[in-house]
């Protein structure tokens, strides 16, 4: 019988989100001898918590760095790691990863994995200077403490690891799950009363400054002056959602958190992602697998996925939205297979992750 490998993922929460959904996709496909546990910084029950338990995983909670301060947080982590005896600590917390993996190293954890999900600090400017100064210092701890450094592309790797060597680890999806469904499209369009002449735009993103919803909604306001029959659907939650709703932009539907993303993608005609920055957006791979034309900001690395990159200028987005017509059903039905062939299927990354965890 194979010995059990205990992996601890350190992440803010396990609610619905790109990285969180990706980790759960890995967990569901791991062999029985690889067990995932989670260390999170939220007290409330999380979206994936019940499933984690059903799969045999445990959830641990700890006050976040900002609450404890660096010395207390490090001590708390070190004590936890030494007590629990994990074989692998896999951190997803950007620059805080430096402190996490340093504590894991001090506690004798043999395999310490850093994974980059972004390309810059979430906040910038003078007000964020003290916070970012601390983050820069913590980032210096990553390379000495990590035994493995993962990133979806060169930009993400350079931001977190500088010029240190890293392992390319693309963000992937279950491409078959997101394949276009004519039945789901018809059902949802009927549910929302969408006519055949209505072009539906979709954005799936957390409502945070990084995702640039204010720009998207102002662009949409201008677009509706000449295209009043079209609709914009926004799926996601976050700290800015009420502020965005208060803008009262016409024909914009706020859906909140949604579990059936494949159906929404089938319903839509065009996918919009005007983020200020991204590591590699999982939502873009999902949209590509559903055969949606994708308009993204030119600050995003879209890999080899078919998408049109645009500068964050209102006129450029307005024009591209007006010009972008829905694609044929046949093209959409073939998109999931094409996305898998381009290397974005979950089977690839699960196989690679098994190899990485085998080092424990």
DSSP H/E element including 333: helix 329-339
Distance separating alpha carbons of residues 273 and 144, to the nearest angstrom: 35
The percentage of the chain sitting over the pLDDT mark of 70, rounded to a whole number, equals 97
Give residue 1's pLDDT. 45
Radius of gyration of the chain (CA): 21
CB-hemisphere CA count at 13 Å for 360? 25
Distance separating alpha carbons of residues 146 and 249, to the nearest angstrom: 46
Taking 50 as the threshold, does the pLDDT of residue 161 lie above it?
yes
Query: If pLDDT is split at 50, 70 and 90, which confidence band does 123 have?
Result: low
Distance separating alpha carbons of residues 283 and 272, to the nearest angstrom: 10
Distance separating alpha carbons of residues 11 and 170, to the nearest angstrom: 18
The predicted-structure confidence for 283-314, as pLDDT tens digits, reads as follows: 999 999 999 999 999 999 888 899 999 999 99
Taking 80 as the threshold, does the pLDDT of residue 360 lie above it?
no
| Sheet strands (E) in the chain | 5-10, 34-40, 59-61, 88-91, 111-115, 148-151, 167-168, 200-204, 231-235, 252-256, 270-273, 294-297, 308-310
Neighbours of 256 (CB within 10 A): 11
Nearest to 95 by CA among 31, 153, 138: 138
Q: Check if the beta carbon of residue 302 is closer than 8 Å to that of residue 342.
A: no
Retrieve residue 335's tokens: 């998109």
Distance separating alpha carbons of residues 268 and 114, to the nearest angstrom: 35
Retrieve residue 15's tokens: 């609610």
The predicted-structure confidence for 68-87, as pLDDT tens digits, reads as follows: 999 999 999 999 999 999 99
The percentage of the chain sitting over the pLDDT mark of 90, rounded to a whole number, equals 88
- CB under 8 Å to 202, separation ≥6 — which residues? 232, 233, 234, 235, 264, 265, 267, 268, 270, 271, 272, 287, 292
Length of the chain: 360
Q: What is the SS3 assignment for 223-249?
A: HHHHCCCCEEEEECCCCCHHHHHCCCC
Taking 50 as the threshold, does the pLDDT of residue 197 lie above it?
yes
Query: If pLDDT is split at 50, 70 and 90, which confidence band does 279 have?
Result: confident
Ramachandran angles phi, psi of 314, nearest 5°: -55, -50
**Domains within the chain, CATH numbers bracketed:** 5-172+345-357 (3.40.50.2000), 175-343 (3.40.50.2000)
Per-residue exposure over 121-143, b if at least 16 CB sit within 10 Å of its own CB, e if not: beeeeeeeeeebebbeebbebbb
Ramachandran angles phi, psi of 146, nearest 5°: -85, 135
Task: Kindly state the average pLDDT of the residues 106-113.
Answer: 97
Distance separating alpha carbons of residues 335 and 289, to the nearest angstrom: 5
Tell me, rounded to whole angstroms, the distance of Cα 75 from its chain centroid. 29
pTM: predicted TM-score of the whole model, two decimal places? 0.85
- CB under 8 Å to 50, separation ≥6 — which residues? none
- CB under 8 Å to 134, separation ≥6 — which residues? 70
Query: If pLDDT is split at 50, 70 and 90, which confidence band does 26 have?
Result: very high
């Amino acid at each position: 019988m194979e010995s059990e490998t205990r992996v601890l993922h350190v992440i803010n929460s396990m609610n619905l989100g790109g990285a969180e959904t990706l980790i759960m996709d890995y967990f569901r496909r791991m062999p029985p001898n690889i067990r995932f546990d989670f260390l999170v910084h939220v007290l409330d029950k999380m979206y994936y918590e019940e499933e984690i338990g059903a799969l045999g995983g445990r959830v641990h909670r700890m006050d976040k760095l900002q609450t404890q301060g660096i010395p207390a947080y490090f001590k708390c982590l070190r004590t936890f790691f030494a007590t629990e005896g994990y074989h692998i600590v896999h951190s997803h917390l950007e620059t805080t990863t430096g402190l996490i993996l340093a504590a894991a190293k001090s506690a004798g954890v043999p395999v310490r994995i850093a994974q980059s999900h972004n390309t810059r600090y979430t906040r910038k400017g003078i007000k964020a200077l003290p916070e970012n100064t601390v983050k820069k210092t913590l980032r210096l701890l990553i390379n000495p403490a990590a035994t493995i450094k993962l990133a979806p592309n060169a930009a993400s790797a350079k931001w977190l690891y500088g010029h240190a060597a890293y392992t390319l680890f693309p963000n992937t999806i279950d491409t078959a799950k997101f394949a276009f469904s004519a039945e789901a499209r018809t059902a949802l369009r009927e549910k929302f009363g969408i006519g055949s002449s209505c072009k539906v735009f979709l954005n799936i993103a957390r409502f945070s400054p990084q995702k640039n919803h204010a720009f998207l909604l102002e662009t949409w306001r201008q677009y509706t002056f000449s295209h009043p029959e079209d609709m914009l659907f926004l799926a996601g939650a976050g700290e800015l959602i009420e502020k965005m709703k208060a803008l009262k932009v016409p024909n914009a539907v706020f859906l909140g958190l949604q579990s059936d993303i494949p159906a929404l993608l089938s319903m839509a005609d065009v996918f919009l992602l005007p983020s200020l920055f991204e590591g590699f957006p999982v939502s873009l791979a999902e949209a590509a697998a559903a055969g949606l034309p994708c308009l993204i900001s030119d600050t995003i690395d879209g890999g080899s996925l078919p998408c049109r990159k645009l500068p964050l200028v209102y006129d450029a987005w307005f024009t591209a939205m007006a010009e972008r017509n829905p694609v044929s059903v046949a093209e959409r039905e073939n998109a999931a297979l094409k996305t898998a062939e381009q290397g974005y299927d979950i089977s690839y990354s699960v196989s690679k992750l098994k190899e990485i965890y085998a080092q424990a």
